A and B are shown apart, each in its own frame.
Chain A
Amino acid sequence: MSTLAEVPPVKNKREVLDQAVIRFAGDSGDGMQITGSQFTNTAALYGNDIATFPDYPAEIRAPAGTIPGVSGFQLHFSSNEVYTPGDAIDVLIAMNPAALKVNIADLKANGILIVNSDSFKEGDLRKAQMTSNPLEDHSLDKFRLFSVELERLTRRSLEHLGLDAKSMDRCKNFFALGMCYWLYNRSMDPTVRWIEDKFKNKPLLVEANKLALKGGYSYCEATEAFQISYEIPPAQLTPGLYRSMSGNQALALGFVTAAQKSGLRLFQGSYPITPASDILHELSQYKDFGVMTFQAEDEIAAITSAIGAAYAGALAITTTSGPGMALKTEALGLAVAVEIPLVICDIQRGGPSTGLPTKTEQADLLQALFGRNSEAPIPVLAAATPADCFWVAIEACRIAVKYMVPVIILSDGYLANGAEPWRIPELKDIPDFPVKFASDPVGFLPYKRDPQTLARPWAVPGTPGLEHRIGGLEKQDPTGNINYEPLNHENMVRVRAAKVAAVAQDIPNVLPAGDLEGDLLMVAWGSTCGSITAALKAQRAKGRRIGHLHLRHLNPLPSNLGDILKRYKKVLVPELNMGQLLWVLRAKYLVDAVGLNKIQGRPFKQAELEQKIEEMLGL
């Protein structure tokens, strides 16, 4: 872990570290997400490996200065590979007392604490329900506290521009960012370029933000406030061209790629919902790729319009979060019955009901697997990291059109908004999967199946001689006519299940990370991958014989999973839910697996996982 605590502050010293964790925290109106994203971008461009954790409230603007209004952005950047945003933080920037109060517990002893001292007046303290001023009462003595008059200094940098006080104060986050750039010896150029692009029609704001940024940098240089600055060299990543990638962005790019690889037009039916809306924002920009986005009147119209588009021959997707998933349930059953290709993204968040809209959770697994009336199996895939969303999107589309099935992708708020460096693939390395619509009327029957995949033909309207009727009523095999006969129904139920089970033939055997047999296997899925990888490495370095199997395919499960489970004495299933994969594994494999369950709207900390591993190993 990072070693700030071990470095004695020496005047003007430049220290080389292997990693650091920094968190920007302030009011939702303080621009903390932008500040954090800018630092992330700069670190990524410099060549560090990165992992981020944006954490913001559901309210757009909770009352200013209050605890519920605190917004944070955490970044872990390193010259080694990083898997998590980091458990504890080396540097905390707190723009007000509420931000300090919410975040101080995560700051390491002797960590750097930069506070905006202009916002620690009596009223500010009251809003954060503080009875004494922490800048004066010695409660922060174990940290390296830097009280900076961010507002006054920012105003002084900008006073000649003729802006009003409010507009000047809005630039104070960039003053703080400039300080952090000095602290870590970073170039301001990428952020300057961003400012120039973002405010290209408002020259005054370009000037103000640039001046604030440079003001923060110069302040550190002139005052020697920190006495030390840090250098974190670039990471040794696999050679290639990289960019920073978030989960929602990766899904959008994956779908555009899948459309091109399949030769189909992309249609997205969607209704705005946190944390999935960014996929709609992203895809709606890609009209030049023929992408059609439809902001429907509700979640149900979002999926049913996508079903209509798929029926008409599009690569159709719908994107939502848990509450929207619930509304789409009946339509999912229709997609199963009419056997139409469709991809449904559930970007999970804390629940039940409206729950924690901006916080992460993995509690929709059983909903994805079983949340429909009657027997309605659907293939389910889960992305493990933000960039992995790109590949999962493509695979989901491939399965959907090959097997003529709806496919569910599970992501979550942490993956959706988190970012990591992504090695940009060569397009030619991604296989095409051209789709052939039915066209020959001779012998055409709407439910006549491909013997290998059990897929029925995709017969789109407008094709002469293929006029036929489909619907949600039970169909006769293979004519597709309405049929209520008992044996036909049982046959159709079994065939639909067999078709989904057949997807397993495309799933490669899985191989655990770490030890291939031993004392403990961690089986997990989704966004916990990073923390588990970090815990696995740390524990194996201590000589533990443990493995980690991260499942991308949750239905059907990989064929060799049962065999792997038998190679370890114990099985641990860490999940951000009450034990949903655990439930599936215990039921399917009769394995006495144990869960580690956290339901706090936050990802696992590495330490929490390590503690559980040691507990299970009797250490």
Chain B
Amino acid sequence: MGTATLPPPLTKKDFQTDQEVRWCPGCGDYAILSAVQSVFPELGIKRENFVVVSGIGCSSRFPYYMNTFGFHTIHGRAPAVATGIKAIRPDLEVWVATGDGDALSIGGNHTIHMLRRNVGIKVLLFNNKIYGLTKGQYSPTSEFNKKTKSTPFGSVDRPFNPMSLAIGSEATFVARSVDVFQGHLKETLKHAAAHKGSAFVEILQNCNIFNDGAWFSLTERDARSEHVIQLEHGKPLVFGKNRDKGIRRKSDGDIEVVQLGNGITESDLAVHDAHHPRPSYAFLLSHMEHRPGFPTPIGVFRAWDDLPRYEDVMNQQITDVIAKRGPGDLGKLLRAGDTWEVK
């Protein structure tokens, strides 16, 4: 094939629609939309093969702003709709845009089952720790004792940790990024895109109307390096403004924060292994943020791609049965079992 026949490469503009984007000014969703629109043209996938599916919530308006096939479904059900699409058309590139309420509250069941099945869907969970579209009630990721419109005396729920939940469901790809870390976000999205099985990406996102500053401790320039640890496969777990702190494995299997120096060097630290087949280490990492003195990890927690995709197994089973029995003969099927002739 001559290169002259190739269509011009896709650009960010090709993924923008003519629809007016209706998020609040200053919403973190704009940054996520921009990152996705930048990454999609780089994936080498035809535009018509992208399908963006969403549920309900601010994040779920996403498909209307992506010039691809798009399906804005109902609250919490995007993973199930997407599973149906992938089952019939495994060749399509299906991305789900969802939020903390959509994916973890009303749609929690579908989220865990999609992950355990390893359906080849990329899930972007916009986590702003609040219900935005319904104007400010606490969400399943809101911190304990959160004061909101529906909890004037503080919420009494303990929050979900989306990373722990996904890893606990044995998701094969689990990552976290932040709306305002554009470079990191795009890299994380590319990692997710490269993963064949279910890819679950939590994006910490600021709702500047109902929960402004929910992630400031991680995103403000002064605080960032002390409170955030960036996970990179094959690299030691180092953090801190002067890269002077790290995470070390203890003999009991737990982890601890250590100060580098005084005989402790990077070679004593845990080396991040995102490709480990078992999820227990990634689960340990996901719990760091709940522990005093520990940083919050971002990056790819887990990327183990040896498990076949659900839709491939489903279709392979059909292929195998046809190979064994031959293609079904409907006339024969209708005449199957005991029959008798009336003359």
Binding site for B on A (CB under 8 A): 41, 44-47, 190, 234, 236-244, 253, 256-257, 260, 265, 267, 269, 286-292, 294, 296-298, 300-301, 304-314, 316, 330-331, 333-334, 338, 423-425, 427, 460-473, 481-482
Q: How far is the CB of B179 from chain A (nearest CB, A)?
A: 23
- In the complex, the answer to whether A469 meets B314 with C-beta atoms within 8 Å is no
- In the complex, the answer to whether B72 meets A242 with C-beta atoms within 8 Å is no
Question: Known: A256-B333, A296-B80, A462-B48. Contact between A41 and B318, CB under 8 A?
Answer: no
The bracket for how many chain B residues form the interface is 35 or more
Q: Give residues 39-66 of B contacting A (CB, 8 Å).
A: 46-49, 51, 53-54, 56, 63-64, 66
- In the complex, the answer to whether A472 meets B73 with C-beta atoms within 8 Å is yes
Q: How far is the CB of A605 from chain B (nearest CB, A)?
A: 29
Q: Which of A236, A241, A314, A470 contacts B70 (CB 8 A)?
A: A470
Interfacial chain B residues near A338, Cβ < 8 Å: 71
Interfacial chain B residues near A482, Cβ < 8 Å: 19, 64
Question: Known: A467-B67, A469-B63. Contact between A286 and B328, CB under 8 A?
Answer: yes
Question: Which of B213-221, B245-253, B268-276, B319-327 contacts its partner?
Answer: B319-327
- In the complex, the answer to whether A461 meets B85 with C-beta atoms within 8 Å is yes
- When C-beta atoms are compared, the residue in chain B nearest to A44 turns out to be B340
- In the complex, the answer to whether A265 meets B88 with C-beta atoms within 8 Å is yes
- In the complex, the answer to whether B73 meets A240 with C-beta atoms within 8 Å is no
Interface status of B74 (Cβ within 8 A of chain A): yes
- In the complex, the answer to whether A242 meets B48 with C-beta atoms within 8 Å is no
- In the complex, the answer to whether A427 meets B338 with C-beta atoms within 8 Å is no
Q: How far is the CB of A131 from chain B (nearest CB, A)?
A: 45
Question: Known: A289-B328, A311-B71, A472-B74. Contact between A466 and B48, CB under 8 A?
Answer: yes
CA distance A45 to B63 in the complex (A): 58
- When C-beta atoms are compared, the residue in chain A nearest to B60 turns out to be A471
C-beta contact mask, B297-329 vs A, less than 8 Å → 1, else 0?
A: 000000000000000001101100110011110
The secondary-structure label for the interface of chain A is mixed
Interface status of B343 (Cβ within 8 A of chain A): yes
Would you mind naming 30 contact pairs between A and B with Cβ atoms under 8 Å apart? A46-B340, A236-B342, A238-B342, A241-B335, A243-B340, A257-B334, A287-B317, A290-B328, A301-B77, A304-B74, A304-B80, A307-B73, A308-B81, A308-B82, A308-B84, A311-B81, A311-B84, A316-B84, A331-B77, A334-B74, A427-B330, A461-B48, A464-B47, A466-B48, A467-B67, A467-B70, A470-B71, A471-B63, A471-B70, A471-B73
Question: Known: A45-B340, A297-B113. Contact between A288 and B51, CB under 8 A?
Answer: no
Question: Known: A242-B339, A427-B331. Contact between A312 and B92, CB under 8 A?
Answer: yes
- In the complex, the answer to whether B343 meets A239 with C-beta atoms within 8 Å is yes
Interfacial chain A residues near B19, Cβ < 8 Å: 469, 481-482
Q: How far is the CB of B188 from chain A (nearest CB, A)?
A: 25
Interface status of B110 (Cβ within 8 A of chain A): yes
- 7 extra A-B contacts, CB within 8 A, seeds A300-B77, A464-B47: A241-B340, A242-B339, A288-B328, A292-B88, A313-B89, A461-B69, A469-B66
- In the complex, the answer to whether A467 meets B68 with C-beta atoms within 8 Å is yes
Q: Which of B71, B88, B113, B336 contacts A314 (CB 8 A)?
A: B88
Interface status of B244 (Cβ within 8 A of chain A): no
Interfacial chain B residues near A290, Cβ < 8 Å: 318, 322, 328
Interfacial chain A residues near B206, Cβ < 8 Å: none
- In the complex, the answer to whether A243 meets B88 with C-beta atoms within 8 Å is no
Q: Which of B70, B73, B318, B330 contacts A287 (CB 8 A)?
A: B318
- In the complex, the answer to whether A47 meets B340 with C-beta atoms within 8 Å is yes
Q: How far is the CB of A40 from chain B (nearest CB, A)?
A: 11
Interfacial chain A residues near B333, Cβ < 8 Å: 253, 256, 286, 289
- In the complex, the answer to whether B84 meets A267 with C-beta atoms within 8 Å is yes
CA distance A169 to B205 in the complex (A): 67
- The 6 residue pairs across chains A and B that have the minimum distance between CB atoms: A308-B84, A471-B72, A305-B84, A289-B328, A469-B70, A301-B80
CA distance A254 to B332 in the complex (A): 14
CA distance A97 to B335 in the complex (A): 41
Q: How far is the CB of A36 from chain B (nearest CB, A)?
A: 15
Interfacial chain A residues near B47, Cβ < 8 Å: 464, 467
Question: Known: A239-B343, A297-B110, A472-B73. Contact between A305 and B80, CB under 8 A?
Answer: yes
Q: How far is the CB of B105 from chain A (nearest CB, A)?
A: 14
Q: How far is the CB of A392 from chain B (nearest CB, A)?
A: 16
Interface status of B17 (Cβ within 8 A of chain A): yes
Interface status of B212 (Cβ within 8 A of chain A): no
CA distance A48 to B77 in the complex (A): 50
CA distance A334 to B321 in the complex (A): 34
Question: Known: A287-B318, A331-B77. Contact between A312 and B85, CB under 8 A?
Answer: yes
Interfacial chain B residues near A300, Cβ < 8 Å: 77, 80, 110
- In the complex, the answer to whether B88 meets A462 with C-beta atoms within 8 Å is no
Q: How far is the CB of A553 from chain B (nearest CB, A)?
A: 25
- When C-beta atoms are compared, the residue in chain B nearest to A340 turns out to be B71
- When C-beta atoms are compared, the residue in chain B nearest to A390 turns out to be B334
Interface status of B157 (Cβ within 8 A of chain A): no
- When C-beta atoms are compared, the residue in chain B nearest to A465 turns out to be B48
CA distance A311 to B89 in the complex (A): 10
Q: How far is the CB of B8 from chain A (nearest CB, A)?
A: 14
CA distance A342 to B57 in the complex (A): 26
C-beta contact mask, B98-118 vs A, less than 8 Å → 1, else 0?
A: 000000000001100100000
